[in-house]
């Protein structure tokens, strides 16, 4: 007879065990109070990117068989048992196993020459991350307990040196790192770990303080819930000091920036303290004018938007290489005349050639190009030069002619509302609050990438693509106009 008083035995999966390893409370909340989770906007795009990587990993083995979880995972377990029983030669994708209530699905299960098995976990990263090891150990533990003879267990991650040379040919996109030997101790500890996770799930909500583990290896989706009763802390914490400058003071028990004296700090940090304490921005107009004086005319204020797909889409591109699909250009003459120019490709076609041509056509050869964090724009220009040899001379010259507004801003302006950041989105509201990004539909680079992916999808309607194009144009134009506005304010120029 079923014992209704027996404690409920919670099912576990590889991802639940990963959650437990990050934080027992995270596991407990994800099972008992999932409604408290707050997922960030980029999660969907990362998920789609991961799916594409998984699909390519499978497509590389056309003789493989997929274990579908239809109608449910019980069917996947049965299908896996059947395939193994029939002596399937592999590869088997999403082979599903269960041991002690822990369910695992193996991305790729391949036969080895000695008729044993190799398990591979496909990752969209370009290397092995620490949390991958725990993931893989859980897989191996469950597979071995299910009676599978494993010869190797690998993280199959993206090889960042791969270059697409033929459309659709992704042989070589992945590289395997076999971790089986290295993980034996971790694997041996899995049974105990699973019991601990289960004990947590059967108990009350764990009492755990927030800490560094809340953002490593993942930003925890329960941070708002866990932090709801925390004291709000000082208005101006020492952590606004850039480049980790506040950590040193925290170790001495100082949390409030205003508890420091001017003698404690020097350089930029001293300017930050003074601007924060007095509520008066640090502004060295003379210094800004001196730094900008060397920039020639006309000035081409330039900003690229890019996508960086894990799976290269176009010939000659590598994983995660930045591909420009848009730029905005404010062209300023010495007499103050400004014209706006732009380029946008979001129909899913290869944007590189048309982008390169537009740059050559729209930016005068004698212009000084101004960017905000210029290494990025220079790199995009140089990559375009590599892809378009007939335009390379002009594009490389433009990369050489690119100067950077960011260090000028950092050296000569600080408003306390920047809270230690000189990103354009932090600086602009302190100089021109009317140019708020919050009023735009596309608000940042991540939004722009999501908009491109939606517009480039062949299922996107013309009307929606048009609306996304308008939003992208408005956003990118705001970025370059923001640069013009910031530079003029730094120099006290109207």
Instruction: List interacting residues with ligand SF4 (CB under 6 A).
Output: 22-23, 25-26, 29, 208, 210, 213-214, 220, 222-223, 226
Closest separation in Å from C-beta 224 to ligand SF4: 8
CB nearer to ligand SF4: give 32 or 464: 32
Smallest gap from residue 137 Cβ to ligand SF4 (A): 21
Cβ of residue 10: shortest distance to ligand SF4, in angstroms? 17
Two tokens, residue 455: 């517009």
Residues 6+ apart with CB under 8 A from 103: 11, 12, 13, 14, 73, 96, 97, 142
Long-range contacts of 461-468 (CB under 8 A, 24+ apart): 465/346, 465/347, 468/346
The token pair at 198 is 């289960």
Helix axes 462-491, 285-292, angle to 10 degrees: 110
Q: Least separation, in Å, of the C-beta of 199 and ligand SF4?
A: 17
Closest to ligand SF4 by CB, 206 or 446: 206
Q: Specify the residue, 210 or 392, whose C-beta has the smaller distance to ligand SF4.
A: 210
Contact 22, 217 (CB under 8 A): yes
User: Minimum CB separation from ligand SF4 for residue 131, in Å?
Assistant: 13
Q: Where are the alpha helices (H) located in 388-461, listed in sequence order? A: 392-400, 405-412, 424-431, 445-456
Residue closer to ligand SF4, measured from CB, 32 or 493: 32
Q: C-alpha angle 256/257/259, rounded to 5°?
A: 70
Q: Least CB distance from residue 55 to ligand SF4, whole Å?
A: 31
Indicate the residue among 215 and 349 with the shorter CB distance to ligand SF4.
215
SS3 letters across 224-262 = HHHCCCCCCCCCCEHHHCCCCCCHHHHCCCCCEHHHCCH
For the CB of residue 27, give the shortest distance to ligand SF4 in the complex, in Å. 8
Find residue 373's DSSP bridge partners: none
Taking the C-alpha atoms of residue 319 and residue 160, their distance in angstroms, rounded to an integer, is 6
Residue 204 CB, nearest distance to ligand SF4 (Å)? Answer: 14
Nearer to ligand SF4, 141 or 222 (CB): 222
| Residue with Cβ nearer ligand SF4 (239 or 276) | 239
The DSSP string of 382-400 is: HHHHHH-GGGHHHHHHHHH
Residues 300 and 367: beta-carbon distance below 8 Å: yes
Render 78-111 in DSSP notation, one character per residue: HHHHHHHHTT--S-EEEEEEEETTEEEEEEEEEE
Strand partners, 153: 119
Taking each helix axis from N to C end, the angle separating 405-412 and 285-292, rounded to the nearest 10 degrees, works out to 160
Q: Which is nearer to ligand SF4, 213 or 419 (CB)?
A: 213
Q: Is 345 helix (H, G, I), strand (E, B) or coil?
A: coil
Q: Where are the beta strands (DSSP E) in 242-393?
A: 282-283, 299-307, 323-332, 338-344, 368-371
Minimum Å gap between C-beta 135 and ligand SF4 is 18
Q: What is the DSSP letter of 35?
A: G
In the complex with ligand SF4, the residue whose CB is nearer, 21 or 94, is 21
Comparing CB distances to ligand SF4, the nearer of 30 and 469 is: 30
Q: How far is the CB of 102 from ligand SF4 (least distance, A)?
A: 21
Distance CA 449, CA 447 (A): 5
CB of 206 vs ligand SF4, minimal distance in Å: 8
Return the number of the residue (208 or 474) whose C-beta is nearest ligand SF4. 208
């Amino acid at each position: 007879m079923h014992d209704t008083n027996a404690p409920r035995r919670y099912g576990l999966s590889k991802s639940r065990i990963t959650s437990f390893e990050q934080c027992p409370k995270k596991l407990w909340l994800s099972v008992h109070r999932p409604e408290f989770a707050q997922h960030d906007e980029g999660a969907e795009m990362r998920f789609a990117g991961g799916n594409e990587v998984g699909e390519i990993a499978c497509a590389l083995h056309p003789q493989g068989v997929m274990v579908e979880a239809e109608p449910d995972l019980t069917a996947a377990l049965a299908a896996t048992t059947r395939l193994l029983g029939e002596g399937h030669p592999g590869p088997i994708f999403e082979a599903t196993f269960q041991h002690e209530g822990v369910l695992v699905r193996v991305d790729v299960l391949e036969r080895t020459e000695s008729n044993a098995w190799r398990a591979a976990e496909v990752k969209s990263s370009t290397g092995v991350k620490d949390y991958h090891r725990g993931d893989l150990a859980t897989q191996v533990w469950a597979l071995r307990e299910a009676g599978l003879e494993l010869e190797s267990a690998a993280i199959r991650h993206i090889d960042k040196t791969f270059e697409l040379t033929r459309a659709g040919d992704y042989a070589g996109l992945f590289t395997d790192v076999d971790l089986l030997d290295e993980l034996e101790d971790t694997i041996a500890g899995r049974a105990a770990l699973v019991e601990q996770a289960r004990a947590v799930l059967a108990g009350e909500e764990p009492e755990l303080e927030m800490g560094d583990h809340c953002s490593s290896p993942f930003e925890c989706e329960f941070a708002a819930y866990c932090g709801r009763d925390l004291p709000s802390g000082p208005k101006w914490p020492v952590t606004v000091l850039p480049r980790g400058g506040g950590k040193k003071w925290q170790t001495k028990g100082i949390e409030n920036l205003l508890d420091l004296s001017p003698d404690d700090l020097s350089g930029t940090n001293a300017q930050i303290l003074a601007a924060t304490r007095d509520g008066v921005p640090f502004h060295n107009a003379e210094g800004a004018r001196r730094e900008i004086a060397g920039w020639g005319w006309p000035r081409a204020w330039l900003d690229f938007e890019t996508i960086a797909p894990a799976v290269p889409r176009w010939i000659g591109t590598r994983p995660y290489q930045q591909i420009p699909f848009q730029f905005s250009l404010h062209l300023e003459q010495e007499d103050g005349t400004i014209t706006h120019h732009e380029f946008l490709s979001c129909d899913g076609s290869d944007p590189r050639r048309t982008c390169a041509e537009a740059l050559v056509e729209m930016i005068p050869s004698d212009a000084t190009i101004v960017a905000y964090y210029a290494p990025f724009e220079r790199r995009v220009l140089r990559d375009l030069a590599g892809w378009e040899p007939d335009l390379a001379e002009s594009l490389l010259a433009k990369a050489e002619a690119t100067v950077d507004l960011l260090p000028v801003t950092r050296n000569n302006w600080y408003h306390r509302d920047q809270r230690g950041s000189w990103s354009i989105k932090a600086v602009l509201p302190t100089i021109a609050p009317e140019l708020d990004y919050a009023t735009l539909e596309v608000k940042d680079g991540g939004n722009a990438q999501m908009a491109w992916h939606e517009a480039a999808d062949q299922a996107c309607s013309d009307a929606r693509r048009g609306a996304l194009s308008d939003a992208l144009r408005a956003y990118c134009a705001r970025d370059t106009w923001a640069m013009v506005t910031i530079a003029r304010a730094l120099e006290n120029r109207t």
